């Protein structure tokens, strides 16, 4: 379907004119005028834009992009805020500007808030709340928050979606996509910025943020994860009062981090330590983390605890991504470009689509700056920004959740450095990483790894006949192209030999334990001072072989 079919509505055309006029006024007329879009900008707006352009010539391009977005309202502001979390989409100089993006959106009236709340809950405001503050305590591009008290006496925060915001954003996104596609069509160099893809990705994120039920699920999961944590508070969600446009949560009575007086250094250092530990726990233990931990989403409670709010944007970290992230950090700290590139390859980088030598040269230039810096003084935020910017420059696709993780770490370090210039993220991470490794290599940790390996192996065995049949059918139909180097065959052979050896030893160990148990159940056998010799020897031998197999399979793999 042609894109122009999307803007037949007269309201869409008026909005398109408004967007294009602002872009002209902010100095982007050159690009617009070379497309069919220019016909939608009246001549008098172009003249005004030309006059205004003279006053903007000294301003940087990222600044003008940010100002244009802020002038264009909620949808564009939200786009800028989302892009500030995505260094895989835009260069770091734009990220810095987008991080300053402010919501200049006026609050909507109490009458509208009341009407939306009652319509969504299907009840009158007074039947649900004992009191409801008419003045919102926070207002943003998608919603505003009112403080209220439930009938049971609990103080809550009521998040209410803006009136008609979904229709407004859907229209703006249609027009964004139209403009992005037109620019890519007329400017081949614009394609490398993937403008249309950025808009499509933004549309997906927006769809999630506009459904408050998803945020409620995230908040419930976070609260469950931190239920026994002494330092972190996640507000309770009142699920009976949650809809797609309404979210009622426990009210967090505290001070926003960006308004905190950091004069008490000892107390503030403890807050930074606990907050940073909480993020590392989310990433490396829970595998589910808050991906937008800016100071406005972090509250310091009167009892010294840390409260987290706004769970619309989250990241997920599986075991494989955790391992790769640690490898990437090790590569950065050890200034090992080969290890970093190897990790990128494991993350999905296609070496055939990039200039490998140029990528490696740029990477080594970044690492060279670390040469005379001690590990404790490394600013991870700067290095991560440089590495992510390098990936963007060379069109290296990275997992979205890793990008969110990198941005989260960079944001947290930036917040900590703002209040404590001597904060060292690597030094602060060491106790947590040490504790994590001890847990990982404990007997319980090994047992869990063995069970996962066994389950995976069992599932693979079950599927071998199906996979074999599929492969045989494809070979018969001539659909498989075989291109294996001698080194690949040798590697495969070694892997198969290693795996078959592990299986054989596993069966021997199982046989030793089972046999020892059976002999122990009988009265026959050899005894010494009342102790059954065969079961004891069998069990001891099985235990020693188990430790050796753990070393062979797990420890050796992690120490590669």
Residue 291 in any domain: the answer is no
Residue 373 in any domain: the answer is yes
26 and 133 together in one domain:
no
Residue 10 in any domain: the answer is yes
Which residues span the domain enclosing 60? 3-102+176-206
8 and 62 together in one domain:
yes
CATH of the domain at 122: 3.30.200
State the SS3 of 132-171.
Answer: ECCCCCEECCCEEEEEEEECCCCEEEEEEECCCHHHHHHH
411 and 537 together in one domain:
no
pLDDT tens digits in sequence order for the chain, 560 residues long:
444 454 456 678 889 989 998 888 888 877 888 787 877 776 666 665 555 555 555 788 899 999 999 999 889 999 998 888 888 788 888 888 988 886 667 899 999 999 999 999 999 999 999 999 999 998 888 999 999 999 999 999 999 999 999 999 999 999 999 999 988 888 877 777 788 888 998 999 898 899 999 999 999 999 999 998 999 999 999 999 999 999 999 999 988 877 776 565 666 777 777 888 888 889 888 999 998 887 788 898 888 899 999 998 898 988 888 888 877 777 776 778 888 888 877 776 666 667 878 888 888 888 776 665 555 555 666 777 787 788 888 877 778 888 888 888 777 777 777 777 777 666 666 666 666 656 554 455 545 555 554 455 455 545 555 555 565 566 556 655 555 444 444 554 555 555 666 666 666 766 666 666 656 555 555 665 666 666 677 777 767 777 766 666 655 544 44
Element (H, E) at 357: helix 356-368
Residue 310 in any domain: the answer is no
467 and 533 together in one domain:
no
51 and 196 together in one domain:
yes
Number of structural domains, the chain?
A: 5
204-241 burial, b if ≥16 CB within 10 A, otherwise e?
ebbeebbbbebbbbbbbebbebbeeeeebbbbebbeeb
Instruction: Please tell me the pTM assigned to this model.
Output: 0.70
461 and 420 together in one domain:
no
Helix (H/G/I), strand (E/B), else coil: 208: helix
49 and 183 together in one domain:
yes
Element (H, E) at 528: strand 527-528
Residue 115 in any domain: the answer is yes
The pair of three-digit structure tokens given for residue 48, joined into one six-digit string: 């005004």
């Amino acid at each position: 379907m042609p894109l122009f079919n999307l803007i037949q509505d007269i309201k869409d055309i008026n909005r398109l004119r408004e967007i294009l006029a602002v872009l002209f006024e902010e100095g982007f007329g050159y690009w617009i005028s070379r497309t069919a879009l220019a016909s939608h900008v009246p001549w008098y707006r172009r003249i005004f834009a030309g006059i205004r352009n003279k006053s903007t010539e000294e301003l940087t391009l990222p600044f003008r992009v940010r100002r244009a977005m802020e002038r264009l309202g909620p949808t564009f502001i939200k786009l800028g805020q989302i892009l500030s979390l995505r260094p895989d989409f835009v260069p770091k100089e734009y990220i810095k500007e987008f991080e300053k993006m402010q919501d200049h959106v006026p609050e909507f009236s109490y009458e509208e808030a009341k009407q939306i709340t009652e319509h969504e809950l299907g009840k009158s405001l007074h039947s649900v709340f004992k009191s409801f503050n008419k003045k919102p305590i926070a207002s943003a591009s998608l919603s505003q928050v009112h403080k209220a008290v439930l009938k049971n006496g609990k103080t809550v925060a009521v998040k209410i979606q803006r009136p008609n915001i979904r229709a407004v954003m859907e229209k703006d996104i249609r027009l964004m996509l139209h403009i992005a596609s037109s620019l890519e069509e007329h400017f081949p160099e614009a394609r490398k910025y993937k403008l249309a893809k950025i808009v499509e990705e933004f549309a997906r994120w927006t769809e999630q943020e506009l459904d408050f039920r998803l945020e409620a699920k995230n908040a419930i999961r976070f609260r469950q994860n931190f239920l026994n944590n002494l330092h972190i508070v996640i507000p309770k969600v009142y699920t009976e009062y949650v809809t797609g446009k309404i979210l009622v949560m426990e009210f967090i009575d505290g001070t926003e981090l960006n308004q905190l007086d950091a004069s008490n250094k000892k107390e503030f250092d403890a807050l930074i330590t606990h907050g940073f530990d909480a993020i590392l726990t989310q990433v490396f233990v829970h595998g589910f983390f808050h991906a937008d931990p800016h100071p406005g989403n972090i509250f310091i409670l009167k009892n010294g605890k840390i409260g987290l709010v706004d769970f619309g944007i989250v990241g997920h970290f599986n075991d494989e991504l955790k391992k790769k992230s640690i490898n990437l950090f090790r590569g950065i700290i050890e200034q090992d470009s080969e290890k970093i590139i190897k990790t990128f390859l494991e993350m999905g980088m296609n070496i055939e689509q990039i200039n490998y030598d140029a990528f490696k040269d740029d990477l080594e230039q970044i690492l060279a700056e670390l040469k005379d810096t001690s590990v404790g003084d490394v600013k991870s935020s700067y290095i991560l920004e440089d590495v992510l910017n390098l990936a963007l420059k060379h069109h290296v696709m990275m997992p979205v959740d890793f990008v969110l993780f990198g941005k989260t770490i960079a944001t947290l370090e930036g917040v900590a450095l703002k209040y404590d210039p001597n904060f060292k993220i690597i030094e602060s991470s060491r106790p947590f990483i040490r504790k994590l490794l001890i847990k990982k290599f404990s007997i319980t940790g090994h047992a869990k790894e063995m069970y996962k390996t066994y389950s995976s192996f069992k599932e693979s065995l079950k599927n071998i006949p199906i996979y074999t049949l599929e492969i045989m059918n494809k070979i018969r139909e001539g659909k498989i192209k075989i291109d294996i180097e001698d080194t690949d065959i040798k590697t495969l052979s070694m892997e198969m030999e290693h795996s078959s050896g592990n299986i054989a030893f596993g069966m021997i160990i199982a046989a030793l334990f089972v046999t020892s148990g059976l002999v122990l159940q009988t009265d026959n056998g050899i005894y010494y001072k009342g102790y059954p010799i065969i079961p004891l020897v069998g069990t001891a031998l099985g235990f020693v072989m188990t430790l050796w197999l753990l070393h062979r399979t797990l420890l050796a793999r992690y120490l590669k």
